[in-house]
């Protein structure tokens, strides 16, 4: 497989949506065999591009990578790639329980036209650092034309993603970006990658990261973008303007407003352990409440979320939508 048109770190910038895999109404039934809503998938991809987003990540946790069949993944990726039509990079998750299966899925996604993979570690046994680095090296060797976004979810993969890991994995040419979540470790991780990998935080903490390291922090990921993508694009533009002018007041105001919509999603406001148990259901409820995209029901077995947690998710989604509507009205006035 030729190393053609491999994406580079310099191409990673701006606001990247993380999208769910839209589900048909019967998706919670284990008997259902084709649960991908292709029409909504294409509509959402088109809408995210029209809103000015810079890239799309998919088939992570909220994308239900663990509960889709291979056939369903193929349908989703093919639909999304066709809708994107090369206008923005489309990355799809290919995480599995082992290296060989991951390589098969990554090759298939590459052949379907995905620009990259959002790739986490195999999850049956927690990996040590040598195993983790070798895993990314092997996938890169097997699919040399596929860019890699390291899915650095410490809770999901039971791996610390330490600076020494980043120092080694950043030497792999295909590793150009990372869905980064460890805010306290940001400066150490930036030093470790030496500019070879674009570390991307969530939208709610992007402002602080961009202020701390303006040259390196030029991109972020947003699951909120599935509640309405224009808000993520506004944050991107506000931070770009603040970097140019040195006046961070407007960007700070917008970031604070976005943060107020995000935090109700987390049970108790800060109980991430509970959030990680119910991530899929909470995110899908948030997105449906936002009203911009139909995420649809969860696929089994992850069907149950405590009612009090769901209420926070709905508040988060409706809050995001309300802020988007308010700002759109202000811009139109």
Question: What residues are annotated to the active site?
Answer: 151, 179
What is the C-alpha separation between 243 and 230, in angstroms, rounded?
20
Whole-number mean pLDDT of the chain?
A: 96
pLDDT of residue 332: 80
pLDDT digits (tens, 9 = 90+) for 249-300: 999 999 999 999 999 999 998 899 999 999 999 999 999 999 999 999 999 9
What is the C-alpha separation between 146 and 77, in angstroms, rounded?
14
Ranking 43-57, 172-186, 206-220 by mean pLDDT, the lowest is 172-186
Contacts of 197 (CB under 8 A, 6+ apart): 9, 150, 166, 169, 170, 175, 176, 177, 178
What is the C-alpha separation between 223 and 262, in angstroms, rounded?
10
* CA-to-CA dists, residue 230 to 15, 34, 275, angstroms: 10, 31, 25
| DSSP symbol at 15 | E
Structural domains of the chain in order of their starting residue, each with its CATH number: 9-325 (3.20.20.70)
Lateral strand order in the sheet of 14-18: 198-200, 175-179, 147-151, 116-119, 90-93, 55-58, 14-18, 219-222
Q: What is the pTM of this model?
A: 0.96
């Amino acid at each position: 497989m030729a190393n053609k048109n491999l994406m580079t770190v310099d191409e990673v910038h701006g606001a990247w949506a993380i999208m769910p895999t839209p589900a048909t109404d019967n998706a919670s039934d284990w008997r259902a065999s084709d649960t991908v809503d292709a029409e909504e998938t294409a509509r959402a991809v088109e809408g995210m591009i029209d809103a000015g987003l810079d890239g799309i990540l998919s088939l992570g946790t909220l994308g239900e990578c663990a509960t889709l069949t291979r056939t369903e993944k193929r349908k989703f990726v093919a639909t999304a790639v066709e809708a994107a039509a090369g206008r923005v990079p489309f990355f799809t998750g290919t995480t599995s329980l082992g290296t060989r299966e991951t390589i098969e899925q990554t090759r298939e996604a590459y052949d379907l036209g995905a620009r990259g993979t959002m790739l986490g570690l195999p999850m049956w046994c927690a990996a040590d650092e040598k195993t983790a680095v070798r895993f990314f090296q092997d996938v890169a060797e097997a699919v040399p034309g596929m860019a890699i976004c390291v899915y650095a979810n410490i809770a999901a993969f039971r791996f610390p993603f330490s600076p020494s890991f980043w120092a080694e994995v950043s030497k792999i040419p295909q590793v150009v970006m990372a869905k980064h979540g460890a805010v306290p470790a940001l400066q150490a991780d930036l030093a470790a990658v030496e500019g070879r990998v674009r570390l991307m935080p969530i939208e709610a903490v992007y402002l602080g990261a961009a202020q701390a390291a303006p040259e390196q922090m030029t991109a972020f990921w947003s699951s909120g973008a599935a509640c309405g993508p224009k808000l993520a694009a506004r944050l991107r533009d506000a931070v770009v303007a603040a970097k140019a002018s040195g006046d961070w007041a407007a960007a700070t105001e917008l970031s604070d407003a976005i943060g107020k919509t995000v935090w109700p999603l987390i049970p108790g406001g800060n109980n991430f352990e509970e959030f990680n148990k119910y991530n899929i259901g909470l995110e899908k409820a948030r997105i449906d409440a936002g009203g911009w995209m139909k995420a649809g029901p969860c696929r089994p077995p992850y069907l149950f979320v405590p009612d009090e947690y769901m209420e926070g998710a709905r508040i988060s989604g409706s809050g995001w939508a309300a802020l988007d509507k308010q700002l759109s009205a202000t811009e139109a006035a």
